[in-house]
Chains A and B, each alone.
Chain A
């Protein structure tokens, strides 16, 4: 689509693993057949559990992993035709762990100024001005510029991480679990900040999180991943109010709701067992071993991601069956 900021077409990222102890080489399909788009200024929530491929997908979009198959178009142009520095001006990333993702030996000023210098900005006054602007935007004070990461709290470090991602004024920011490493009483500050900056700078986000409360709060659209594939996608309200894939329902049912103590309906929606290994995914629908409504055809036949309503798609043979 022409108006998409990011368009993924049948994207696949496979890794080859093994070959030493365990015998032959195996293919790990971390990301398989993903078609997705993000429009300018939009927030796409990306949900899934560990090993579902959401971080691999993020790295592929960042241009840090070459796709095995498929196409990534950023701003209408293929990612592999863009220069590294040009891609960096368009898409940036905020990481989960603000402790590990900042260089402990660099001051905040250097961390924020380096991307500008790499992009060819030579004028020292201008670099300084942009750094100070950015610090103010994320709620840090000018004197913070000359401090090192260890002098900050977790929440402040994440503010630095956000400032680093935004200093080049990108159009798309991938936020990979941006609050899950933070203290609970700090999370609201960072979520509010991300939403303010989105409006102020016209950013599009891909918000990767396993916290459905956060995803519902920030997203315009939501995609749910399971074992490398998208199993459901749609508008945030569709996904949360009328989920069609049993895995989406299981994710929602798994959230402890302090106001309603485990009613019988959610017990039925819960998934059994654990996520299969992506190295050895089950045949047919990858969710079938855990699915509360599986039938015979689920064991052999992979369901396609098909429309249940305009803009809402689910990869389940029983997507039209009500909850």
Chain B
């Protein structure tokens, strides 16, 4: 097997609280191949975004990397110095965020914010960088890029701002693009355009994608493999088609069944939606054993006592459940 582009091994992220430390992320491992689109799905607070921040070297107090390796192209990067991280970010790993308005600098024209990437990472002159910024805007299909490079973020719509974010992220041809809920703040019709654009550009440039979202449908449509996180742990990881067709963890099964699916009512009449009972646990009160056990209808004594390990599924993929199968 070739060396994966990114390899995360037994990542643990600690959250320092009042005298006690909690593990916000625990035992998270996954790999992303070159040019591969990988999805990380979970609800708010499950640890998916801070996993991404760890890969970017952006964990700040009260969060810290307690354990684990982050291997980029065969090289450990978790211990990099701040200067090394700055070189990695933007040139090898780039990230786009949910809310482009808060991620862009409101006081700087968008063209300059793109051009900065070429100046910082490629040593280009400002005038050359501005030309390349215009080209980058054209690539993300912003209309009239020659005028738009002088616009400030507030002059652009939400979809256009996210295009600018993509242009900045992809400016230096990174190996990995991390997209953290990139379309959650956008309207549905704009969302599908942005997703298509991102997938197309990354495919053309051979950029791998780590897509982070709460939307299982969106992620499995775009990614080849999907991992599902619950309460700080990966509970299941499968090829995208399989996660919907044959989810193996009770949490994933519950999620898939609880979504009202388009066309379902016409085929089968209105059925009561299957609920997942209970609430998402907060980090200070994660239950012992399997963290899903208080909400799981199949839970038994062992689930309340012992943390389940990850089991390899015969058809590939992993599941963390005592009773999978």
Contact = CB atoms under 8 A, between A and B. Distances in A.
Given A186-B279, A236-B265, A272-B193, A217 B160 contact: no
B189 A261 contact: no
B189 A258 contact: no
Interface string B268-282: 001011111101100
Given A185-B43, A192-B272, A213-B260, A49 B189 contact: yes
Contacts of A188: 258-260, 273-276
A247 to B, nearest CB: 8
A187 B258 contact: yes
Interface in A176-200: 183-189, 191-192, 195
Interface in A115-164: 153, 155-156
Contacts of B244: 258-259
Given A217-B270, A254-B191, A272-B193, A153 B262 contact: no
B188 A254 contact: yes
Contact of B189 (A183, A254, A256): A254
A320 B157 CA distance: 33
A216 B262 contact: yes
Contacts of B259: 184, 187-188, 213
Given A185-B258, A256-B221, A274-B157, A216 B187 contact: no
Given A188-B273, A188-B276, A192-B275, A256 B218 contact: yes
Given A256-B192, A256-B217, A258-B216, A185 B265 contact: no
A23 B11 CA distance: 56
B187 to A, nearest CB: 4
Interface in B174-199: 187-193, 195-196
B187 A217 contact: no
**Which secondary structure dominates where chain A touches chain B?**
helix
Of the listed residues B191, B220, B266, B275, the one surrounded by the most CB atoms of chain A closer than 10 A to its CB is: B275
A195 B43 CA distance: 24
B160 A214 contact: no
B142 to A, nearest CB: 11
B293 to A, nearest CB: 14
Contact of B261 (A183, A213, A236, A274): A213
Contact of A185 (B217, B263, B276): B276
A262 B68 CA distance: 37
**Which secondary structure dominates where chain B touches chain A?**
helix
A153 B189 contact: no
Instruction: Give the interface size class of chain A.
Output: 35 or more
A48 B112 CA distance: 35
A281 B30 CA distance: 48
Given A185-B276, A274-B160, 15 more contacts: A155-B279, A186-B280, A213-B262, A216-B265, A217-B270, A240-B263, A241-B266, A251-B189, A255-B188, A255-B217, A256-B215, A257-B262, A258-B244, A270-B189, A272-B193
3 closest residue pairs by CB, A with B: A217-B260, A188-B258, A49-B187
27 contacts: A49-B187, A49-B188, A49-B189, A49-B190, A50-B187, A153-B279, A183-B43, A184-B43, A184-B258, A185-B251, A185-B255, A188-B259, A188-B260, A188-B276, A189-B276, A210-B188, A212-B188, A213-B260, A217-B260, A250-B189, A254-B189, A256-B192, A256-B195, A256-B221, A258-B217, A271-B189, A275-B190
Interface of A: 49-50, 153, 155-156, 183-189, 191-192, 195, 210-214, 216-217, 236-237, 240-241, 250-259, 261-262, 270-272, 274-275, 290
Interface of B: 43-44, 157, 159-160, 187-193, 195-196, 214-218, 220-222, 240-241, 244-245, 251, 254-255, 258-266, 270, 272-277, 279-280, 295
